[in-house]
Amino acid sequence: MDLGANFHAKLEPYLLMAKSAKGAAAAKLVQDATAAPGVYVFSELLEQPSVQELGKNEQHESFLSLLQLFAYKTYQDYVQYKDRLPPLNQAQITKLKHLSIVTLAAERRILPYSDLLRVLDMPNIRELEDLIIDAIYLDVLRGKLDQNQAQFEIEYTMGRDIEPGKLGNILAALNNWTSATSTVLTTLDNKIESIAAQTATRRAGKEDYDKTLQTIVKEVTDKQKDKGPQRRGTFDREMLMDVDDLPEQLKGKNRNRASQEAIPKQQRKRNKY
């Protein structure tokens, strides 16, 4: 379910009562709606004729301003103009602070605790975190409390009512966002194409390197196979040539020694005497 999907249903009873409420009853209705649990959108209630008539009555016009505060403004606006507004109870203050966080989240995704403590007039971090956790359970926003970095990381928020005259600003902001997003996507596409081209070049270079390496290895292996038998034959011929080149006298001594070794030992012994 989307954030804030049930907020309209929570407002429905007050819309029905607003059709018949007049004057003080309409003012009381505004007080009740702004304090009611789960009621966080108010534009439809603002559009009711009985509520709009509050602005024409000096006694009750502050209640119309109160409803506009909850629809469009923040806690800081209440602090600035509270002398012109009806006093708020604790439920109304808590709800207005929840809505103020939603407005801040529309400007930036990371909200430091120091900024939240200041703009929400919170006494300490413990109460600030409790306030944020309550807003998460009420489906007003989603995010992560980062105590190490002392900040609140926004993931999603409900949508607030659009103040009259601010639609053009929202459209301009959306156009700027669209333009920025298009630029980022174009940059990413170019980067992806560049990386793909570099990868293809490296792959082709590696394939060429592997082919060259295989060719060299094959050539070396073939040469070794060819040189092996030839080297042994050359060695044998050289040995024969060396024997043929021996001096004749040395050859004779070698033959005499071989002949003497061929005579039996007994016969050689007899010849000695």
Q: Are residues 143 and 195 in the same domain?
A: no
φ, ψ of residue 19 to 5 degrees: the values are: -65, -25
For residue 264, pLDDT beyond 70: no
Q: Describe the chain by its helix, strand, coil percentages, rounded to 5.
A: 70, 5, 25
Q: Are residues 148 and 28 in the same domain?
A: yes
Element (H, E) at 24: helix 24-35
The residue from 135, 157, 179 where one domain ends is 157
Residue 116 is assigned to a structural domain of this protein: yes
List Cα–Cα distances, 113 to 110, 135, 244, in angstroms: 10, 16, 104
Residue 95 is assigned to a structural domain of this protein: yes
Q: Are residues 65 and 144 in the same domain?
A: yes
The residue from 157, 180, 205 where one domain ends is 157
For residue 254, pLDDT beyond 90: no
Residue 64 is assigned to a structural domain of this protein: yes
Contacts of 81 (CB under 8 A, 6+ apart): 65, 69
- Give me the pLDDT at residue 228, please: 60
For residue 2, pLDDT beyond 70: no
For residue 248, pLDDT beyond 80: no
Q: Are residues 24 and 119 in the same domain?
A: yes
Tokens of 201: 């070049």
CB 108 within 8 A of CB 151: no
Residue 40 is assigned to a structural domain of this protein: yes
Residue 218 is assigned to a structural domain of this protein: no
Q: Are residues 152 and 169 in the same domain?
A: no
* 4-42 confidence digits (pLDDT tens): 567 888 899 999 999 999 999 999 999 999 999 999 999
The residue from 93, 124, 157 where one domain ends is 157
Which residue is listed with tokens 């429905």?
A: 12
Q: Are residues 45 and 133 in the same domain?
A: yes
Query: Is the model's pTM score more than 0.95?
Result: no
Residue 96 is assigned to a structural domain of this protein: yes
Residue 225 is assigned to a structural domain of this protein: no
How many structural domains does the chain have?
A: 2
The parent domain of residue 94 ranges over 5-157
* 110-119 confidence digits (pLDDT tens): 999 999 999 9
CB 40 within 8 A of CB 100: no
Q: Are residues 147 and 12 in the same domain?
A: yes
Residue 129 is assigned to a structural domain of this protein: yes
